[in-house]
């Protein structure tokens, strides 16, 4: 079961996303602002982050940069009301792996999350053999 960190300051948006993803079998961790998001990221080691852009304190774009500096391989989906191309460009430059504009269809969000989680390389155990020795 993949663990998803949702960083969202709007309680209604958080609840809608969290309930939907829980019902799809994901473990959910929440944060109400950017600073809490970074704290929860360090504490919980999520497999993926769903991140709002507009939050009080530390903006989502800065949270994205910080997370990518810590663990580049963790996928980040920015979910925001910002539809402008300049925001999308800035999000991808900061390291996000996907960008969706609110309100979005929950099944589309699910499809994108499943795709990104499928791209994560799982460590493959390899056997080293030499002659009869395994």
Tokens of residue 68, six digits? 């990518």
| Tens-digit pLDDT string for the chain (134 aa) | 899 999 999 999 999 999 999 999 999 999 999 999 999 999 999 999 999 999 888 999 999 999 999 999 999 999 999 888 999 999 999 999 999 999 899 999 999 999 999 876 555 455 555 666 65
pTM listed for this prediction: 0.86
**Cβ–Cβ under 8 Å, residues 52 and 103:** no
Count the Cβ atoms, other than its own, within 10 Å of residue 101: 14
Cα distances (angstroms) measured from residue 7 to each of 77, 126, 132: 10, 37, 53
Whole-angstrom distance, CA of residue 27 vs CA of residue 16: 14
Whole-angstrom distance, CA of residue 70 vs CA of residue 43: 13
């Amino acid at each position: 079961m993949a663990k998803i960190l949702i960083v969202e300051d709007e309680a209604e948006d958080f609840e809608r996303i969290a309930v939907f993803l829980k019902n799809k079998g994901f473990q959910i961790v929440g944060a109400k602002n950017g600073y809490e998001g970074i704290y929860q990221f360090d504490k919980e080691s999520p497999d993926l982050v769903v991140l709002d852009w507009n939050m009080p304190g530390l903006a989502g774009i800065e949270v994205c940069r910080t997370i990518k500096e810590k663990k580049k391989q963790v996928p980040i989906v920015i979910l925001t009301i910002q539809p402008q191309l300049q925001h999308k460009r800035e999000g991808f430059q900061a390291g996000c792996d996907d960008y969706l504009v609110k309100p979005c269809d929950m099944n589309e969000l699910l499809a994108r999350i499943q795709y990104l989680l499928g791209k994560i390389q799982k460590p493959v155990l390899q056997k080293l053999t030499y002659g009869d020795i395994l």
